[in-house]
Amino acid sequence: MSLLEKQLAPPGEDRPPTMAERYASAARSGDLTPHLDRRTDADVLLAAGIAASKDPRKMLALNLYRMRITGDMTGLFDVVDRADGWMAHRLAHKGNRPMASYARRQLVADILSWWLDPVCGYCEGRMFVKVEDAARLSTVACESCHGAGHRPLARSVPHAHVKHAQWLADELDKLVLIITGEMARLLGTRIKDLEL
């Protein structure tokens, strides 16, 4: 399980909310009232904005993060364009066979589709087979995802491009980890110390 997947994992009873959970809550919040004595949803959104400001790569990372957390696909075409450029560069400079623009763009779209929603459709991310007519899971691992809880990327892209697909998925994960790390750092400081 990648660091990003751990961040997006369901909450446990004994752990504080992750940055993903805090951002998801803030993005859907109807109350953005700031308070001086505690962190609020407004603080989380402020930290996100400051973390991404003045850096196009971080802005793209925040956009990706928002899409994955909230399901709001605003800006998807920009993400596809940027990722397509990265893929074109990789294919041109790594001694790989060139790919037609439309095929490369379709590959990028397939990878983004998987990355934005990798949850296994059979077990719904539970990793185990659900017992019929019961509110519990069996001890049998899901046959579709082999107990991973998410669809294998190799099923979403042509076999010949799995290596490139995994590279792009890893790049997306790295981008999001950069922005969430920056958001966590900013939230760890006092709001009055933040420079706008």
Counting the structural domains of the chain, the total is: 1
pLDDT at 188 over 60: yes
pLDDT category, 116, cuts 50, 70, 90? very high
Rounded CA Rg of the chain? 19
Classified as helix, coil or strand, 130 is strand
For residues 143 and 122, the answer to whether their CB atoms sit within 8 Å is: yes
Cα–Cα distances (Å) from 142 to 65, 155, 157, in that order, read 27, 16, 21
- Eight-state DSSP code of residue 159: G
Give the rounded percent of residues in the chain with a pLDDT score beyond 70.
84
127 in the Ramachandran plot: left (φ > 0), alpha (ψ -120 to 50) or beta? left
Owning domain of residue 26: 3-193
Q: What share of the chain has pLDDT > 90, as a percent?
A: 21
Give mean pLDDT, residues 47-67. 86
Looking at per-residue pLDDT, the higher value among 96 and 7 belongs to 96
88-98 mean pLDDT: 80
What pTM did the predictor assign?
A: 0.75
**4-27: burial string, b at 16+ Cβ within 10 Å, e else:** beebbeeeeeeeeebbbbbbbebb
Average pLDDT over residues 1-15: 55
| Per-residue pLDDT tens over the stretch 170-186 | 999 999 888 888 888 88
d(CA 181, CA 59): 14
Mean pLDDT of the chain: 81
CA torsion angle 54 186 2 79 (round to 10): -20
